[in-house]
Structure 1
């Protein structure tokens, strides 16, 4: 009870009072509307989240955040029970539970709407139930174990399956009893697992307000959904290689150190050795397997590019290994203090208090986010900028989830109609997510609509002029042709000020800030070169100078229209400066952009050899068919009859990839020049 109350209080105090980034807005919306989350669906989390939306406290967002806080605190109670069973010392149990609860990543996930604390709760409950069964041989405990395991698969089943070898090894000494009880255990687990997914299927056919893919109509579509087949492009990037995997192994090991400070990590390493002396072998190897499963093993399985946003994503996955580190840390402290002849209990208590204070202070500034309103402020700024009765298309998570939450849950700007341009998430989808002609249907909708149409991310297909407003784009049918106009409204300027005074340490917030810096800088650069008087008299030069000093602001300056106007020598200097700024903070696609723009400039200067070398450098940095440098190289080789070079790039980057219709047609035209 002490562990639960103390840690729940910390989480409740720390939790943001409104929507944040990551999947926060999605899980809040699905809980509020009893909707369907992204694959694999997390039906159990949705049902529990709905209960928490009924709490008479704070905003809907805070209520669902408290769900994570609740299961985060319960996870630490379960870990307390595990340590108590292994070490039989109350102070050691408090040490493990509290340090785990205050560790950097676990704390961060216990204060937002996410799946991970429910997942850790299930795992450590299962670990404790297995220990109880080994001690008592009570079959009822084993059947409860089976039911809890089944329920856990209705949450984040991939992480649970990666941790299952740990539970199998733990129960190995009782394998005969487990095998005899396995038919009933499998039946219980099956029912517990299937029931939430059955509810999800039924609910999806009721057309809820939030449904990621829409109705689940048959077993094939259910299998597609639950197996996460639609997320394969996320789990395995075309541009990732063995170097990325090795980098992630090192990153995950450093994350282990970050959780409990270097001193705590050193103690955990000592505890890893001590477990083979102080615990039976099956338990020791079980803990080792649990530590490896969703950390180093998962890191080797995933094909992520090693870059800031994906590092922020992968650091959440090893929450179970971080808990096992806490167990090892306790084993180390117990081994060291047991050598003290007098005052062993006092030594344990003093060490526990010192470590708890150090860990708390180390992670407090990052994880106390009660005043974090960034995502809400962004969503509000976008929605406030739209005309009455407008249509807004959203695209990625950073747009869809916070804007969707503010509009659908908080009821902000109810006159605005939201659509997802991929046919995802909202009930009012224009087409299915897997429609082959989404671009054509979007273009037809824009052409036929009489309402003002905006989009939060670039790429909405249409044949009209458009206005770039920094935070959004607007279709402008009233401007002849296909012109681009620019404007920064007062709302947008106010958010730029907010953006540049923001002090968040949250990696997702920093990623969105950097993305917006690049977008806003491109607008400022337009005014600098095409509407100089407005640029100087409207106070835009101050924003420009400020953003030019940042990596992503500098990146936003490298645009087509700046290339058309800037002095070539000055532009090349900007390319070199941006390359240097992005060296440590940029993604592969971002770091590939400066050499791409340099290559285009060199082509204009008729320095073909240097241009091709620069474009090839861009492809080397970001070897992906989405890299515009790849198409630029194909076009160059097509125009110059370089058949072998054309085939080499095409085979490396385009064959076997899922290409949109426009890219496919472009490749066909370029290949036709070479008789392909």
Structure 2
């Protein structure tokens, strides 16, 4: 969407990618989405060319260069990022171009090469500057033997790099003030706003989780090492390990040290810096960051193959080519099923199902990546259901924002909008503030002003039922798609559970039991069954059995917040059964799993200790989980009330 509308992407903005993407939207082929996907493929191919040049310069053998380039192109994660609209192949293209330019300068001492190097480096910072800066020590070490020449040329190099970097960001600022259709935060009004945007300060809550600890960092180190093995199969990884050792004999100290620094930068060093919880969605995010280290692995792999095949007295060239072909076939077959996605239409199907089912002239509030991007693309770019008006409930992304993203009274403004609108209002994420009844339809919620009071009603339309079938026949291996499917499984299951316990006749006669039984066997379907209204109706023994079953299903696939939910619901049940000791233990287990102020078990414990006068226990939880955190107004008021009961 950003490329199509020449808009402003999420921080740090990626202005260069947006401009290049706009050029690709002008190609006379396929959909707009396909054209921007081709941008990644284009720079993926150019990255392989740049890597070919690097290997050719280092090893001086054409077959080895082709081996490295082809294997890198077929590696699991690079391939996956070269077929979707993303920023990572442009980043790898810049890095390996810079590496090659540095090698050329070391060989020729031509200052013009250094100036080109500076310009390319500046442009790279207008793409994904965090990953490029993590890889910069590699380039510094590589140029160290020519440090005198580099220092003499540094004033002009810095000027060139500065201009190349600043110009795209300057365009971004100017463009943001033109109020484009897509603009993540809206107009960038001053230098402070620009610094906030480019430095990604608004994403601090994403980069650092309150519940992450040293164990998460260690888990990520192990995960990243396993990802290294996955890229080229265990055989290829073993060869790369041999190449890492071999390089200290084959290359000079500067080149060998540079390659090692480049491998460490956006892999293990970055993994140690990030504060992510170790869970499936974050693993999917972090596995994309080490594309540069994966390319360096290809260099080491080639170095190992070259060393081994050079020992063949006769037919060394044939042995080298045969080994390359065999390894390329194995790597291709290992990653083909995951990365050949011609039938993966999940995002389009989801967005179409949601938009098709809305009333004419409806308003739909979207929230996160899962709904904002696919629905926004179909509605704004492809013009599907132009009568539907999209808003982001955080004031992000779309031009028609109701308030700024940092407005202190977003809840009040949303509630006022809902109250004053005469249109049908839907929202894709729970929590839209209003004082009316609402209908949960599985795929989204609907404001129902025609139903008195603040009641919750449930419904599963024909469109939603058809999408459940689509959801359960999906064969995608994409982790983001699987995450959205699991989220929808949980939401749909909560609706099915309502019908099972509150509208039994509809549940049985409407064919809903089939969907219920199917989803109950999945981890997130089982999770969706553990709701407050089921707790009110289900037999306690049956509910406890579901808690145990869900805990088992989520053990290896759930996030911390998801794994903390079953013991939380168990604690609520035990409180109702007057088993306070077991209830508190279960709630504490939920907090141990997910030690975050967003965990409802934390507030439940605070409420229990407040009601029972346990001042020290109350303070312990409050200090550990709530002090120093950014809390919403309702949580702050709740804490004030609970603390007042204890004289705090």
Q: Secondary structure at the match of 2:629?
A: coil
What secondary structure, in the 3-state scheme, does the structure 2 residue paired with 1:171 have? Answer: helix
Compute the displacement of 1:160 (Å): 0.1
Residue deviations 1:238-283 (CA, integer Å, cap 9, x gap): 0000000000000000000000000000000000000000011100
Displacement of 1:372: 1.2
**Paired residue secondary structure (1:250):** helix
Cα-to-partner distance string for 1:519-573 (whole Å, 9 max, x where unaligned): 0000000000000000000000000000000110000000000000000000000
SS in 2 for 1:207: coil
2:528 equivalent in structure 1: 556
Q: Give the secondary structure class of the aligned counterpart of 1:113.
A: coil
Q: Aligned to 2:476, what secondary structure does the other structure show?
A: coil
Shift of 1:411: 0.4
Equivalent of residue 286 in structure 2, options 311, 314, 318: 314
Alpha-carbon distance in 2 for matches of 1:506, 1:48: 26
- Equivalent in the alignment of 1:410: 382
Q: Which residue number in structure 1 is paired with residue 603 of structure 2? A: 631
In the other structure, the counterpart of 2:99 is 127
How far apart, in 2, do the equivalents of 1:570 and 1:524 lie?
Answer: 17
**1:76 maps to which residue?**
48
Distance in 2, matches of 1:406 and 1:375, equals 10
Structure 1 residue 370, shift from structure 2 partner? 1.7
Deviation by residue 1:630-668 (Cα, 9 ceiling, x = unmatched): 000111111111111111111100111111111111111
Aligned partners of 1:41 and 1:77: how far apart in 2? 27
Match of 1:30 in 2: 2
1:434, CA displacement in angstroms?
Answer: 0.4
The CA distance in 2 between the partners of 1:303 and 1:390, in whole Å, is 40
Shift of 1:464: 0.7
Deviation at 1:385, TM superposition (A): 1.3
Provide the rounded CA distance (Å) in 2 between the counterparts of 1:665 and 1:446: 24
Deviation string 1:283-328 (CA, Å, 9 cap, x unpaired) is 0000000000000000000000000000000000000000000000
Q: What whole-Å deviation, never above 9, does each CA across 1:106-142 have from its counterpart, x for those lacking one?
A: 0000000000000000000000000000000000000
Q: Determine the structure 2 residue equivalent to 1:354.
A: 326
RMSD: 0.4
**2:351 & 2:592 partners in 1: Cα distance?**
36
CA distance in 2, matches of 1:672, 1:386: 46
Structure-2 separation of matches of 1:571 and 1:634: 24
Mapped to 2, the partners of 1:464 and 1:611 lie a distance apart of 33
The C-alpha deviation readout for 1:391-417, integer Å capped at 9, x for no partner, is: 000001001000000000000000000
The CA distance in 1 between the partners of 2:153 and 2:469, in whole Å, is: 64
Q: Which runs of 4+ in 1 moved over 3 A?
A: none
Q: Could you tell me which residue of structure 2 aligns to residue 488 of structure 1?
A: 460
Q: Residues of 1 paired with 2:121 and 2:129: CA distance?
A: 10
Higher RCO (Cα < 8 Å, 6 or more apart): 1
Residues of 1 paired with 2:65 and 2:613: CA distance? 72
How many residues in Structure 1 have an aligned counterpart in Structure 2? 648
In the aligned structure 2, how far is the partner of 1:411 from the partner of 1:371? 22
The structural deviation recorded for 1:384 is 1.0
Listed as ranges, the gaps of 5+ residues in structure 2 are: none
Q: CA offset at residue 371 of structure 1? A: 1.8
Cα shift readout 1:497-525 (whole Å, capped 9, x = no counterpart): 00000011111111111110000000000
Residue in structure 2 matched with residue 452 of structure 1 by the alignment: 424
Supply the distance in 2 between the matched residues of 1:184 and 1:416 (Cα, whole angstroms).
Answer: 53
Question: Aligned partners of 1:156 and 1:607: how far apart in 2?
Answer: 54
State the alpha-carbon separation in 2 of the partners of residues 372 and 602 from structure 1: 44
Question: Deviation of residue 202 (structure 1)?
Answer: 0.1
Distance 2:317 2:336 in 1: 28
Return the offset for 1:222.
0.2
Write the deviation string for residues 368-395 of structure 1: whole angstroms up to 9, x where unpaired.
Answer: 1122110010011111111000000000
